[in-house]
Structure 1
Amino acid sequence: MANNNSTDKQGGIKNNNLNKTEEEDEKKKNKKIFIVIGVAVGVVIIIIILILLLFTFCRRGSAGETEATGVEMTEVMEGSEETETLEDTSGASGETSSETEESTEETTAEETTGEEETTETEETTADEEAIAPTITLATYMGPVYSSADGVCYYRVQANVTGTPAPTIVWSRNDGSGLGPNRAQVNLHSPSETYTLTATATNSAGSDTESITLSWGCNRPPTVHEITLMGDHIAGVDYTVSAYATDPDGDTLTYQWSASGGSIANPNINPK
């Protein structure tokens, strides 16, 4: 019995080995098949590419030949036309010369007329684009009194329209840094007046505007003297007087104050 079992086992091992060998052979066959298929596909693709390239080259060659043929035909046609023209010209040279001179004169006249019309059109367009200026003046500051300079000043602004943008020229400008559209006028006494003029100019024309400025400032009054009469004794009332003037001749009012003591009527006007 032991011998039979060992024989069966050896037979089973042999069968297993045979199965494994057969499987390996099948795998190798499959790999070879896949390799052959891949090579065949690559060859087919290469053949298709070569066919496309040959087709493209053939088309280009035929197109080049067609163009060359067309050029040759055109040259032949032009040569024949020139030959016919020469023959016609030699047959009627006198008539052709006179007709050529008349055609040249007509062409010159037409070109001259065209140039004149072009010049007139350009001038008309330039005139339509340019717009004559307008200008108005207005004070935007003043009258303002400057005690440091003793002047009464105005600042005036020019409102301008026109195309192209006009340039402005002022008859007087006592200020600085105000810009081209603004000017300042300083008046030095109440009797002084000044007429400020501004002119706006562009390629289409000019316009002028004026404004008259007169003293309008109120200068501050000056207190010249304060007088305290009598002996200065504590607890005693004293009369105090003041002398003041106003450079513009305005009526003055007074407001009194004291650092010590009291004032009976701080708004009384001295006589």
Structure 2
Amino acid sequence: MVGSFLNVVIHRVPRGESLIHPGSHCPACGTPIKPWHNVPVLGWLVLRGRCANCGSPISVRYPLVELVTAVLFAAVTWRLAGLSLGSAIPAYLYFTAIGVALAAIDLDVRRLPNAIVLPSYPVLAGLLAISAAWQHDWWPLLWAVVGGLALFGLYLVLVLIYPAGMGFGDVRLAGIVGGVTAYLSWSVFAVGAFAGFLLGAVAGLAVIAARRGDRRTALPFGPFMIAGALLAIFVGEPVAAWYLDLLGR
């Protein structure tokens, strides 16, 4: 259900449209979508990927966003519950949701809308503060603030040095990525910060190898930042431990 709403966010926010009015409708003919056709994933399968009224194709991205969101929600919940951080689950599900939306929007229009990024600062701050209060431990919240400021500052310096490399939307998103990763640990923060650059480099090499571009080809960086942060939530601790062990040999 959240994934279905994210599809609305992905389509309407870049266009400056309301998320409430009008209701879900076919972009081609404007016919309202019937409730039983709007069931996540299953609705698209029943319609065979076409509008019930005009037969226009419905992008496969719609069920994919719904399915990916469901899988990530389940995985993140399982991971944090395993770390005895159940109180932080709402914050990380929120981050996962906006991450899916921002990644798709950045791939579409090459920008990260302030309408999503900026309100996420107070929302995540509030959710993490509730988690810290529940755990009776305020240190992780302080780490989140420091981590957010640190990664924000790093990206700001990178943009000022090489403006063609990334945009200020990436800088604003960096504060969120730094905060949610540092709240868990500095190991998760370090791996999450590095993983975004690593994934971006791998994607760039893949584009060059497939002859779809060259070293000057611009790729949206937001999806790699989000993917790196989510990856760090799952493997940040063991990867950091492995790296430190490697350095100690």
Q: TM range, normalised to the smaller chain?
A: under 0.3
What is the TM-score of this pair, normalised by structure 1? Answer: 0.16
TM-score, normalised via structure 2 length: 0.17
Going by fraction, where is helix more abundant, 1 or 2? 2
Higher relative contact order (CA 8 A, sep 6+): 2
Larger Rg: 1
